[in-house]
Structures are given as structure tokens and as C-alpha cells.
A and B are shown apart, each in its own frame.
Chain A
Amino acid sequence: MARHWRAGTAGLAVLGLTLTACAGAKVGDPSSAGAKGSGGKCGTFNLAVNPWVGYQADAAVVAYVAEHDLGCKVTKKDLKEEIAWQGFGTGEVDAVLENWGHDDLKKKYITGQKTAVEAGTTGNKGVIGWFVPPWLAKAHPDITDWKNLDKYAADFKTSESGGKGQLLDGDPSYVTNDAALVKNLKLDFKVVYAGSETALIQAYRTAEKNKQWVIGYFYEPQWFLSEVPLVKVNLPPYRTGCDADAAKIACDYPVYDLDKIVSAQFARSDSPAYRLVKNFHWTNDDQNTVARYIAVDKMTDDAAARKWVDAHRDKVEAWLK
């Protein structure tokens, strides 16, 4: 038995050595070297990627352009917002591409520690609000007015809402005034915290398919809206200053101009990547297109970016000026 083993092993070694002699491209041959020459004067560009597909789309396109047009070496870092902002100070993150308000973080890192600076808007409009699945809006058209919500509260009851209607909230990192809104609009609803965006999307998906009653917090731009076009419920309209006191809010969310934040150091460096980030500007439709490539068509970030960039060369050229 053991003798066979030894023979076998020796045979394997010989076979290996023979293979060495005969065939195969060697590592380092020009034919097999994948990446092209190193970064040029752009150097390394550390790009934070926050965990939602819209952001992933932003990052895919900016990274693609930085690599192919500017020759940067892009390092994408998958991080939550708070940790990404922390990285500005330690020099590990150069840019955040899609910031939703976050006045607390701006106060801490831009005015406080002075490790971050603003780099203009992305052109995307962030709409936050309460949404219902399309079948519900069709069956009960008056549901899109908040004044009628109480009429349907009993239909929104679940095992979690303690006898009231359920208003489903998602990921805790997102901006929300829902608890105050329910209280101040005197609605017979209870905010239930789903705890993640995944849970929220799945709730809407199931609701639309099985014609169930769901109302919850959602936002656009979001890839899921191209799968199930949720309908927004109108809250009392937003007026400047109506959200000044968080405990007394009784109006809709403002439309957010999503903006870009970069580290102070990166802004001073005047690297070509910084100019790209500063000039980067597109529409909700653009973002939704790329997000759809990634989330629905299951393309890789790079392939999705290439497809969009090839079709919109004019926009990209404007960023590179």
C-alpha cells in the first residue's frame, strides 16, 4: 500500500516537471499581463462605496472613468457612511459620492475636525417619503392623501403593530422623522423598524405580488422602483423651516440635493481624480440606468459602467474638462 503511494507521488512529481517543460504561458508574459501601466500622475484614488445600489452605480462610473481616462489606480472601499467619513481624517478615504443630508456628520467632520470639505452636488434629487405598492394605489386612489390614511389604518395592522396600522421603516442609517410625523399628524399608526433596506424591499415585493397592505418609508433614486413602481403618499407639503424642531415635524421631507464630500487633503492635492469627482454630475435617470444594469441585469460594476460610459461619452467629456 505505502509503496504504491510513494510511487504515485513520485510519478506526480515527474509528471509535473514534464508539464513544466512542455507548455503554458508563463506568469509575467506580455500576453498574460492583465493590467496596463501604472497610474501616471493620478496615483491612488480611495473611493468609499456606501451600501446601496444607487451609490454603487455612482462609484462604478467614476471609478471606470478614473481608471480608463485618467490612469488612476482606484481602490474601492465598501463602508457604511459613518465609517467612510471617519476615513477622511485617517487618510484612508478620498471621496464619498452620494451624501444624503447628514448634517450631523457635516458638523462633526467639516466644521469640527475640518478633515472633510464639500465638493458640490451630484445632480441627483433625493426624494424621501411614505410609499404604497402600486396595486394599492390603484384599488384605493384616495390613499395617496395622508388625510385618508386613518380610514385604512385597520387594514395595515400586522402582528407587530400592536393593534394600530403599521408604518414600516428600513435601515436605521437613513434620514427619518417618521415617529414624530405619526405623532404630530395624529395618525393611528405605529412605526415598526424593519432594520434593513433588504427587509423593506422584500416587504414591498411580497405585498405587490400577494396584494397585501403595506405602507412604509422609501426613497428615490432606487433601482427597486423600476421593478415595482411604488406610489408616494402626499404628506403636508414641505416649507423651509418646518423641520427645524425635530420633535414637532408635521410636514413632508424636503427634496435632497445629493452631494459629494471629499477629504480636505484630497481637495488640496488637485489630483485629476479630485477634478473628476468635483465635476461629476448626472441625473436620476442616469443613475437608475446603471443601477438597473447592476441589480437587475446582474452585470459587474465595471461592465455596467462601460456600457453607460460608451453610450454617454459627451457627459463624461464634460467631467474631464
Chain B
Amino acid sequence: MAVAAETAAPAAPLRQRVSRPMVVAAILIVWLVLFAALRGRQTLTLAAADLTGLHRRLNDLNDSIGAGRNSNPVFLYFFNEIRLAIDNLVTFVQSLISQPTGSRPVPQIGWLGVVGLTGYVSWALGNWRVALLAVAGFTFFGLQGLWQESMDTLALTLSAVAVALLIGIPIGVWAGLSDRFNRIMTPFLDFMQTMPTFVYLAPLTLIFLIGGASAVITTVIYAAPPAIRITAHAIRSVPETTVEAADSLGTTRAQQLLKVLLPMSRRTVVMGVNQTIMAALAMVTIAALIDAPGLGKTVVQALQSLDVGTAFNAGLAIVVMAIVLDRVTTAAAARTEAARRTGGRLLRWRRPLLVAGGIGAAALVYLSHTYVWAAEFPGNGGTGGHIASAADTATTWLQDHLSGVTNAVRDAITNGLLNPFQTLLTDSPWWLVGVTLVALGAVLGGRWAAVTAAVCVGLLVGTGLWSDSMTTLASTAVATVLVMLLGAVFGVWMGRSALVDRLVRPTLDAAQVMPPFVYLVPFLALFGATRFTAIVAAVVYAAPVAIKIIADGVRNVPESTVEAATSAGCNTWQIITKVQLPMARGALTLATNQGLIYVLSMVVVGGLVGAGALGYDVVAGFSQGELYGKGLAAGLAIVLLGVMFDRITQAAARRTRA
């Protein structure tokens, strides 16, 4: 850090004369000029079925792992033991709430018990409002006719979250205490979060077999990083002075951790649990591809016959589950905060109430264990049928009435923005694009960002998928621009009005957790199997994050500043563009960063609807043994793109804040 500061100092006067946007513009102009001169040379293209030496070597590696499965001691004594432990955990939770065991035709706890228990736990950890929401939400699963599927999903999610926290919180604490360990962990976490799941799905089933264990481990790989990151962040944000005070009292390191650091960071850690649950639910449909039971299977199967209604019904159940779990954990986080501050009157009543509630819940559990009416959800799920047919009607109407408009929009954006940009990226010589990326990294993010960009460009060339990477990059960039436009419009709107915020937010939550597979069919009908469809799907998934971050940023602009601007005679438009947006600059950069990462995580889904390039390579690698190595390389390329942009935008964010 010190070195960076020194080198920055003499450059400062220069930078005042030449502003950063001007340098960026200059770089882009040089690129355009050279592109015109060198177009079509050294573009490193590779046809869809062609492989490079690296891809073949990765194939062989995969085969040798498979062949050694029954003799290798690592398998016999390590992986098999892990599999057994996790399998037992999953089977146990399933036998409790979702699957029949032995001679019992129903699970141990029926619907009434689960609903009662959920309500009680939500109330005990959160408050009565979320308890009511939880009871309503869980009853809704039954009305939808998806009780068992929902419980299977819940069982897998709970098991995965338990394992993720068991591993994640200790690692997070360690990363919070040790800077060096944190630096070592960060690339691994990036890798776990951006590597497309399709890439490791097949090897995982080879190592951990088809079944609950593989599904849980897949989910854990994706869901543990938020727990680790947020725990580390929580430990780090405990004020220095508090730790010093404890130090001066002569506490040991263990005491310090248990008595000071952990209790003080509890609220943030609970938010980590929340993010882990959300990430776990995002994996529901992916895990269904390796036979994980539950709602994901319903979605995937319905789409084989393009049955949007049924898929939507199951997707809605996932959304409801996500919202219930989100609100309950958020309320739990708020309670841990409140419990530290208040006490007294309410607390006196709390204990007897907890006991009474516990007895009530136990009675319901007993009933649902014993009686059929409380074990199996009554009725035939008629509500689900209504939801499905309503969704069908709505999509048919949209398809019939909008397809003219949507085609025009698609062609305008494809021809006006996407095609020129993609041509620029794919038809430039690879080194020209590489140098441009490094230069942009240097200007926007500084020296380290430039080094990272250079390394990533080198490795991208190494994957043998340079051209595909550039095609994907073009779509990703266009999608990110659209995300930021939406983010700015809705973010400012929501940031300025609490009412709008309250109305729009549930929609954003739903867009984030609704499995993309559900809305792909209507999108395909509207836009065809094109890159644009992939872009729209990515925007739906990524825009909510950007909107939320920007809304937060706008809201955090001090009231007094806005009032001062108003009294100086600024109109609304001036306040937004001259005061609120510039002051929320940090939030805008963060929104760009997160928007881009979320868009990248949809690359594979895009491959399923016509985006081609890296997304298609990954999907093909998952489906065809011979292409496995290429799919793995494509997955790596996606990770590299993600890391490169993450580092550049983060460094840029640090600069704007400084």
C-alpha cells in the first residue's frame, strides 16, 4: 500500500491536467484505429467441435480419476467417508420431513408439525410478524400441491446450509483474524463462486456418487463462500478500541475470540447465514440435474414438455421459501441486535412464552406423527393448478401480443450495440484486446489491477478459448450496461421514495430467486434462440442487485445536502444528476461490480438459449464426454473474466472513495 501511495504522489499533478475519462477515451480511440488496420488477424478462433492439447489433457485427467475410483486409497478412506457422513445427514433430515422411512408410508413429521414448528422457531428467533409469514408461506406449499417436493428442497437446503456453516464459520473466523490466511482464501472463494456448476457436476457424481451427498456438496461449494466472507468481514469490523480494551484487561486469545469478537459480530454473521441460505436455494434446479429430489426436479421436468405453468408453480414455491427464510433470518439478526440493547420488561415474559410455545409446537408435531390428516396435506393442490393455468394464459397472451415489439427491440440492440462491439472484440488481434484491457486496468484500477488483467489475459489465451471468451465478454458487457441503466433508474426512484421501495422490493427478491429456467421459455418465445435472449435473462437476474445497491447509496446521501440543494433552487432532475448520483458514486461502482459478477454467473444459462460461446462450451462439456476438457477450460475462462473485472472495478471503487 505504502509503495502505491508513493508512486501515486508525483503523478498527481499530471492527472489533474489529463482527467481519467480522457485517458480512457484515448485508449479506446487507439484501439479502434489499430482494429481498422489489423482486423481479422491473430483472432485465435476455434470451431465448436475442435479441441486443443490442453482440452485433451483435461479429458484424460477426468478419465483417470474415474478409472481409479475403486482402488485409490484417497477414495476408499477419504471421499467415501465424507459421502457416507453427508448421505446419512440428508437421509435423516428427509426421513423427518419429506420421505417415508421403513414401514412408515409418511415422514416422521407431517405437514401440521412442520408448519407449527416453523412458526414457533420463527417467532422465537425473530418476531410474531415473520412467524405469521412463515406459517402462511409453508401452508401455501401444501395448497400448491407441492408439499413433499417443498420439504425435499427444504431438507436438502437445510443440510447444505448446516454443512456450509460448519465449515464456513470457523474458516471465516480464521480469515478474519489472519490477513495472510485471508489473502490465501480469497482466490479460492472467487473460484467457488464463479466456476459454473455444470463443470464439476459430472466429476462430483463420480466421486460422491449420485444422490443426496453429491447434491449437498454441489450446493455447499456455491453456498459456503458468502458465509466465509461475511464472517471474516464481521470479525474485522469489531472496533479496534474494543479489542484493545479487552487486551488491556489481560484476556487470552481464546477468551478474546469467545467473549469479545464473536458476540460483537453476531449480527453480521447471521446476515452471512442469510446469504448462504439464498445461495443454497439458487442451486435447487442445478442439483436436480443429478437427481436431487424436490422442487427443482418439477421445474426441470416441466420444461421438457415446455409446460411453463407447472414450472412457474414450482418456481413460485422456491420464491416463497426464499422470502420466508430471508425474512426470518433478517428478523433473527435484528433480534440479536435488539436483545443486546434492551432487556427488562419484555424479557420477563419471554421465557414462559417460549416454554408454552414449545409445548404447543411439540403437540402439533405429535399429532402430525400419529394421525393421517395431520401427516398428509389435505386436498389435491387445486391452487397450484389455478396458478399454473393463470401463468400459462399470461405467457400465451404476452407471446401473442408482444412478439412484434420484442423482435424490433432485439434487432435494434443486436445490430446497434452487440454486433459492432462483438466484432471489435473478436476480430481484433488477441494481443491488441489484451493490451487494451491491461491499459484500462492501469488507468481505472492502478498498478495491481493492471498486473491482474495481464495475468488473466495470458491465462485466457492459454485456455484456447480466446475468441469464445471475447464473444461472451461482448454479451456480458452489453448486459451490464442494461443492468446499470435499470439500476440507475429504479435505484434512484426507490432511493427517493420509501413507498416505491416497499412496492418494488418483493418483485426484485422474486426475480433474484425465481429459477431462470422458468422464464426462459417465454423469453425464447419472445426473442427466439439468440444472444439477446441470454442477455435479457442475465439482466433479469442481475438488475435487482444493482437496483438495491444504488437505492441504498441514494438513500445514504445526507438529508441536509439534498435540502441545501433544494433551497438553492435546484429542480428534481438537477438534484438527481448533480447531487444524489455523484454522491452515491461508491454505490454505483459497487453496483457495477456486483452486476457484472451476477451477469457472468448467467453465462451458462445463456448457453442454453442461444448465446453460444463459453456458455455453450460449458453445457456441451457437461453433456459429451469428449468435450469435457473443453467445458472445463470454458469454465476457467469464465472465472478469469470474473476475477479480472472484479479486481479492476474494486480497485476503481477504492480510488473513487479515496
Contact = CB atoms under 8 A, between A and B. Distances in A.
B103 A28 contact: yes
Contacts of B306: 198, 201-202, 205
A9 to B, nearest CB: 4
Contacts of B85: none
A113 B612 CA distance: 33
A193 B297 contact: no
B623 A195 contact: no
Nearest to B292: A78
Interface string B362-400: 011011011111110000000000000000000000010
B69 interface: yes
A196 interface: yes
Contacts of B211: 92
A296 B304 CA distance: 11
Contact of B610 (A33, A51, A52, A195): A195
Interface string B345-359: 010010011001101
B648 interface: no
B624 interface: yes
A25 B624 contact: no
Contact of B304 (A33, A52, A159): A52
A171 B622 CA distance: 11
Interface residues of A, number: 73
Interface string B29-67: 000000000000000000111000000000000010011
A77 B291 contact: yes
B414 A27 contact: no
Given A13-B363, A206-B528, A210-B403, A298 B307 contact: yes
Interface residues of B, number: 83
B360 interface: yes
A124 interface: no
Given A10-B356, A13-B359, A159-B411, A25 B373 contact: yes
Interface string A67-91: 0000000000111111100110110
Contact of B612 (A2, A104, A192): A192
Given A83-B210, A198-B608, A171 B623 contact: yes
Interface stretch (A14-22, A147-155, A251-259, A273-281): A14-22
Nearest to B414: A159
A17 B363 contact: yes
B525 A202 contact: yes
A93 interface: yes
Interface stretch (B4-12, B247-255, B322-330, B613-621): B613-621
A179 interface: yes
B520 interface: yes
B291 A202 contact: no
B162 interface: no
A10 B353 CA distance: 10
B48 A191 contact: yes
Given A2-B349, A80-B289, A160 B625 contact: no
B206 interface: yes
A283 interface: no
A206 B410 CA distance: 16
Interface string B97-123: 000000111100010000000000000
Contact of B69 (A89, A93, A191, A201): A89
Interface stretch (B482-490, B529-537, B574-582, B587-595): B529-537
B290 interface: yes
A82 B360 contact: no
Contacts of B209: 90, 92
B69 A90 contact: yes
11 contacts: A2-B349, A13-B356, A17-B363, A20-B370, A24-B373, A27-B106, A27-B110, A27-B375, A35-B105, A52-B304, A198-B303
Given A32-B372, A78-B288, 10 more contacts: A20-B371, A27-B372, A80-B622, A87-B210, A159-B414, A191-B48, A192-B612, A194-B529, A195-B610, A223-B305
Interface of A: 2, 5-6, 9-10, 12-13, 16-17, 19-20, 23-29, 32-35, 51-53, 56, 77-83, 86-87, 89-90, 92-93, 104-105, 108, 113, 158-160, 168, 171-173, 179, 191-203, 205-206, 210, 223, 246, 294-296, 298
For the complex of A and B, 9 pairs with smallest distance between CB atoms: A173-B623, A295-B305, A172-B620, A194-B529, A24-B371, A2-B349, A16-B363, A202-B524, A9-B356
